[in-house]
Structure 1
Amino acid sequence: MDMATSFVYPPPPSMLLNTMSVVGLAALAQIGWSEVRGNHLKYSKFASSSSSASPQPQKHRFGSFSSRIGMLLLYTPAFLAAAASFFLLPSDDLRFLLLKSALALHFLKRIFEVMFIHKYSGEMAVDSAFIITSSYFSSTVLMLYSQSFTQGLTEPSFDLKLIGIVMFVVGIVGNLYHHVLLAKLRNEEGGKKVYKIPKGGLFNTVICPHYLFEIIVFWSFFMVSQTIYSFSFAMGTTFYLIGRSYATRRWYLSKFDDFPKHVKALIPFVF
């Protein structure tokens, strides 16, 4: 316990937060395992069950949105929650201000990408959109709520804020850069809904570098906040994106005979 409290604040006096730290981690790990087993959240290339690299419309049990609308729904509630926190949870604490800013900037950047960068194919299932939106929104609210309990407490022995800021910048820039590469790839096809093997940047060594940098962003939230809940959510997000990247690499292997076998799923030269 002494070692743990050197890196994180003590558990908050909140049954909700302590329960959700466990439940959220378990739920995201389970969803990641479902991706590995082939039970995918229905967005991006997995919105269609087509056997070709050209996405085809598919009926979903609870209906679907256009991909653009679906992606906006994923990020907008979380951004609004982060933006509202500046007014609803006023504080002079630097750590709290950094967390609010990082969360707001992350989701604002994702909304910007949806509006001006991403190229879309297929649709997004309503149930998948609900799961992801709920996860982003609830995690944002709970990270901020958890941080409110740290006000006035003794800081952890190891201050990770500076590392967190550096990781946030690296993560958000790396994620944006690889999303731009994906968008340019679609432009080369004249905007047609056809998938190609991504090239450039870390795509030459892993098929999901954008997920790698997204993981870095969520770990930066923990480094800035140093709360148990933010650690739990960063760990859960890591498990989910490991599963999603594994499934993505398997998809490319099944669709492209010339997929380079040395290209890993998420971590260059390792996995």
Structure 2
Amino acid sequence: MEMVTSFVYPPPPSILLNCMSVVGVAALANIGWSEIRGKHLKYSKFGVSSSSPQPQKERFGSISSRNGMLLLYTPAFLAAASSFFVLPSDDLRFLLLKSALALHFFKRVFEVLFIHKYSGGMAIDSAFTISSSYFSSTALMLYSQNLTLGLTEPSFDMKLAGVVMFVVGIVGNLYHHVLLAKLRKEDGKKEYKIPKGGLFDIIICPHYLFEILVFWSFFLISQTIYSFSFAMGTMLYLIGRSYATRTWYLSKFDDFPKHIKALIPFVF
């Protein structure tokens, strides 16, 4: 236990945070396992196609991919941005966490509006699931950090390493999203190609790899148990999603290079 507390703050005096630290990682791991088994959250390549009868089978219907993506990220961005006023503090660690969260979700909203190109739709229940996860995790990370104010900091201070990891993650994620956007000439045209350039030459989901780095950077900056839990859960989910994505490419393209892995170069 002493070794653990060298890296993280002690468990907070909050039943909600302690329960969500367990429930959150379990839920995300289960969703990741569902992706591997072929039961997907319906967005992106696994979204609702307007040219098939699938929309009528959706329990809660569907919305456009652009609106769905805005729904995913806007509440979390507003939660992070409002924290500067709702939870004012001159603590450097807290300020870095607020800034990283706000910048990450602002970038995602910016990409939705100005970079991504879309076809088909997103299932409303999938959009709600992801949006509520991002919003609640952002709010709980901030709440958890607020409870650490005044406590003795962990022996190993990892916040500056977290800042470096955040910059690498957010730049790498943006770069590979731009490469993906260039594959499709215009919105509404459902066409898929094998991505090339950057790390796409060795893994099919480098954007997920860099997103994982972003969420682990939140943990390094905050060093709370909840942020560790959510980073772990997000990683497990994206492992499953990347596996499903590679399987999808193998099924759609006979010439898909077999050496291209899902998420980790030369390994997985």
Same fold (TM over 0.5): yes
Picking from 120, 129, 149, the partner of 1:131 is: 129
Structure 2 equivalent of residue 66 of structure 1: 64
Question: Which residue is equivalent to 1:249?
Answer: 246
Cα deviation, 1:160-197, whole Å, max 9, x if unaligned, reads 0111000000000000000000011112x797310111
2:167 matches 1:169: yes
User: RMSD value over aligned CA atoms?
Assistant: 1.4
What displacement does 1:121 show? 1.4
TM-score by length of 1: 0.96
The number of residues matched between the two structures is: 266
Indicate the residue corresponding to 2:234 in structure 1: 237
**Relative to structure 1, is the Cα distance of residues 89 and 250 closer, same or farther in structure 2, using a 3 angstrom cutoff?**
same
- TM-score using structure 2 length: 0.97
Runs of 4+ in 1 over 3 A off after TM superposition: none
TM-aligned CA deviation for residue 243 of structure 1? 0.1
Report the AA paired with residue 3 of structure 1: M
Give ranges in structure 1 of 5+ residues lacking alignment.
none
Report the residue type matching 1:78 in the other structure.
A
Residue 31 of structure 1 aligns to a residue in which SS?
A: helix
Alignment of 1:185-196 (within 5 A): 185-187=183-185, 192-196=189-193
Letter in 2 for 1:29: A
Report the Cα distance in structure 1 between the residues aligned to 2:100 and 2:120, rounded to whole angstroms: 31
Q: How far apart are the structure 2 equivalents of 1:210 and 1:58?
A: 28
The one-letter code matched in structure 2 to 1:165 is V
Rounded to whole Å, the distance in 1 between the matches of 2:170 and 2:187 is: 27
CA distance in 2, matches of 1:115, 1:37: 32
Question: Which one of 256, 259, 262 corresponds to residue 265 of structure 1?
Answer: 262
Instruction: Determine the structure 2 residue equivalent to 1:24.
Output: 24
What is the SS of the residue equivalent to 1:149? helix
- Report the Cα distance in structure 1 between the residues aligned to 2:42 and 2:187, rounded to whole angstroms: 25
Contact 2:48 2:62 in 1 (8 A): no
1:118 counterpart residue number: 116
Please report how far the alpha carbon of residue 47 of structure 1 lies from its aligned counterpart in structure 2 after TM superposition.
1.2
Aligned-pair identity (%): 83
Distance in 1 between residues matched to 2:128 and 2:188, nearest whole Å: 28
3-state DSSP class of the match of 1:65?
A: strand
Structure 2 spans left out of the alignment, 5+ residues: none
Deviation at 1:27, TM superposition (A): 0.2
Q: Which residue matches 1:210? A: 207
- Tell me by how many angstroms 1:56 deviates: 4.7
